[in-house]
Structure 1
């Protein structure tokens, strides 16, 4: 069937973004990049009058970003219809998204052509986000250009070569992700609400037939489980590119993948609020500042950890302007410039959500002690040979620890490690061990959580 003019226009958008994201956006200095970003931000701010929520703020000449209020998930949900340019109501968007999750049919749209995505709900109330066809193409072009390795891009561009095979594991499907599919890419979607071993068997069968995936994309915990199956001989795939999405990539999981497939996993840091960071060919996780402006709320005096406030100037349907995320990001001020040549900010790590920062009273009782996720992970890594996996939940002054398949003496070792960690920070808490429970595959995996105080 011949493409319509609209389809051709969308393909042109994807190809233009692919070329620019892969070979363009190169700046000689950070100062030149900042000047370019300010111009893009100014154009975005002049368009704010198209959404009712900012109608009284935006002017033809634009408005300073600092004049806009900082918003969060609560504001976005409360003013959903006023924060999108199409007037879509939250109830309508959620209705489509929840029905899609129930039926596993992610084709339905709202307002004629808008894809609806559903947030994970890890912070409480679930929310929805809207993406237009043009925004889907911008997303797809950016991801393909920035994540695929040189060999895959070469295969993609050689029309006589077989298509690139991508296996994608997700807890919810969506037109947003499937935008990547084309005649040059063979896309297989693995629904994580279905039995995991069914997917393992299907992947193994494809590998046996010589049609295993070239690219493997999955949440970090799923990649770890797939690497374990491969190590045990139950999965014979040999992906040449492994991409972690949706969850924090733990160092031990990354190492497990490297040992099994000889590939350092790349990361896509994607949130409801936009495409926030991607790994370059040198392994550095760059903020996607070509599309997102990031303000920083510093969490420590050394200015190494911050909560991001993002403004996405690619989004025209659902406006993301000065949106405070729940995440904790880490940078290394002393890190050298990335050899890839990009001047955008390199993240040392995505430490997780803000509620992954554990807080306890100081021994003096007059202030709080904060244990950041990377510090806790390092402590737990010291005993990683004694268990298969772990989770920690803070409830009040208790630190509840669960260990998977613990070896004899594992709980005592972990107890001592966490006690020493608390003592080194002069904090007070009680370490409690709970039985291990298998994680729900439809819920984003989180190893460290500080539960809200109960009233």
Structure 2
């Protein structure tokens, strides 16, 4: 039964994109799926029954939104699997401590998000949903047909039954626990010789450098970046070392949201979910996604505002897909920097892309970096330069100060510290705001709009 469902979803995902000739056709199909899904969810989820009571289905795109805090607070009544938050949290924490991610709770997979923004979340997935996810993921990720033999090396903070679902007679799936030492991974990769390598960009970067040093001899057919923002400074090193394009999968606790096509363009998975846009900067085409996932019933995700920052692609993708094309996932609203205006009367948002661009403009000799905003008037910067590159502190200081000046802000104090990063359970965030904004300026009326 599960295998049949996996194969069905694989086929639908592989060839479904050809059935819609226009955005209008896709959106009409989505609307019918969502309406049926919402009717069923209002019957099964006490939380959504109350939240959406009496609201007309025709207007579902305007229904109230929720976020991670609301979902976690209402976990017991929101999910339809009859699992309490305490039960799920206890099972997830035990799996984390023992590094054994195989146990289920009443036949349901339970997992814990990494909590990059300091707010960890729980997710649950039924066996049927696991099979459907595996079919969709294989269709988007495999370098070739499902009938070929594949060896997948998958690096992540935590394993899950969700990921192990892809294992079959033709697919050898090997989970690499990022808590283990990198030399151990290098040895195992050499033995496995993966055809598909999936890892966060920070790990891909370390493996690329090992390959450049002659310590790693693998040549995967396809490389996929997951879990962290793929920065240009890392992409360049990885692609040069492995001599292949780096693809991306955009997935989080809230669902399987996007994947790159053969041209390397990230497309949203609009055959699985409706992803509306709340613009934070319409001129730059940057928005926060509002997700309604009509493929997942055990933990329904309806009108869920995610705090990621996505930028629309300016031109159509050559692949011809009607699915929304995204230029980049540039971070989270948690990583928005704020400068103090020249008159000191207001806070001005500075998007991560501007900080990223300042680093790139300062010197092409910067190999790795981190920029942390400690408070509104103080940045902490650390860089690692390529061998033989002269001092970059002066140019980098000028570029960062210039970005704030362009936004009409006072120049921040900039402190430089040694660069360091240890791969493991912590995600790499090259651009990070390390203080809370109260009230949340990212929700102020006037610079967020919906579409």
Q: 1:362-381, aligned counterparts within 5 Å?
A: 362-381=341-360
* Inter-partner Cα distance in structure 2 for 1:130 and 1:142: 18
- Counterpart position of 2:76: 81
Distance 1:12 1:363, change over 3 A: same
1:25 Cα deviation after fit: 3.1
- Counterpart position of 2:147: 157
**Is there any run of 5+ residues in structure 1 with no aligned partner, and where?**
1-8
1:384 Cα deviation after fit: 4.8
Q: 1:275-424, aligned counterparts within 5 Å?
A: 275-302=256-283, 304-332=285-313, 334-336=314-316, 338-396=317-375, 397-404=377-384, 408-424=390-406
Q: Tell me, yes or no, if structure 1 residue 47 matches structure 2 residue 35.
A: no
- Counterpart position of 1:225: 206
* Inter-partner Cα distance in structure 2 for 1:294 and 1:132: 22
Distance 1:14 1:382, change over 3 A: same
CA RMSD of aligned residues (A): 1.9
State the Cα deviation string for residues 296-328 of structure 1 (Å, max 9, x = none).
Answer: 111114160011111111110001111111110
Match of 1:138 among 123, 132, 137: 132
* Inter-partner Cα distance in structure 1 for 2:282 and 2:22: 27
Q: Contact 1:46–1:61 at 8 Å: present in 2 too? A: no
- Counterpart position of 2:141: 147
* Inter-partner Cα distance in structure 2 for 1:432 and 1:60: 53
Match of 1:445 among 409, 428, 448: 428
Q: Contact 2:200–2:226 at 8 Å: present in 1 too? A: yes
1:410 Cα deviation after fit: 2.4
- Counterpart position of 1:70: 65
State the Cα deviation string for residues 62-116 of structure 1 (Å, max 9, x = none).
Answer: 5732463211111111100111002211111111111111111111111x21001
Q: Tell me, yes or no, if structure 1 residue 106 matches structure 2 residue 88.
A: no
Q: Contact 1:46–1:63 at 8 Å: present in 2 too? A: no
* Inter-partner Cα distance in structure 2 for 1:323 and 1:290: 17
**Is there any run of 5+ residues in structure 2 with no aligned partner, and where?**
439-451
* Inter-partner Cα distance in structure 1 for 2:436 and 2:65: 25
- Counterpart position of 2:419: 436
Q: Secondary structure at the match of 1:15?
A: helix
Q: Tell me, yes or no, if structure 1 residue 264 matches structure 2 residue 245.
A: yes
1:399 Cα deviation after fit: 1.0
1:226 Cα deviation after fit: 0.6
1:265 Cα deviation after fit: 0.9
* Inter-partner Cα distance in structure 1 for 2:268 and 2:113: 21
- Counterpart position of 1:22: 14
* Inter-partner Cα distance in structure 2 for 1:122 and 1:176: 20
TM-score, length-scaled by structure 2:
0.91
Match of 1:168 among 142, 154, 171: 154
* Inter-partner Cα distance in structure 2 for 1:220 and 1:60: 43
Q: Tell me, yes or no, if structure 1 residue 177 matches structure 2 residue 163.
A: yes
Distance 1:181 1:452, change over 3 A: same
Q: Contact 2:203–2:423 at 8 Å: present in 1 too? A: no
State the Cα deviation string for residues 345-370 of structure 1 (Å, max 9, x = none).
Answer: 00010011112221111223333332
Aligned length: 431
* Inter-partner Cα distance in structure 2 for 1:53 and 1:61: 17
Q: For structure 1, which segment, 37-46 or 360-369, has the greater mean C-alpha deviation from structure 2 after superposition?
A: 360-369
* Inter-partner Cα distance in structure 2 for 1:373 and 1:67: 29
Distance 1:405 1:303, change over 3 A: closer
Q: Tell me, yes or no, if structure 1 residue 33 matches structure 2 residue 29.
A: no
Q: Tell me, yes or no, if structure 1 residue 246 matches structure 2 residue 199.
A: no
* Inter-partner Cα distance in structure 2 for 1:127 and 1:165: 30
Q: Tell me, yes or no, if structure 1 residue 126 matches structure 2 residue 109.
A: no
* Inter-partner Cα distance in structure 2 for 1:303 and 1:124: 27
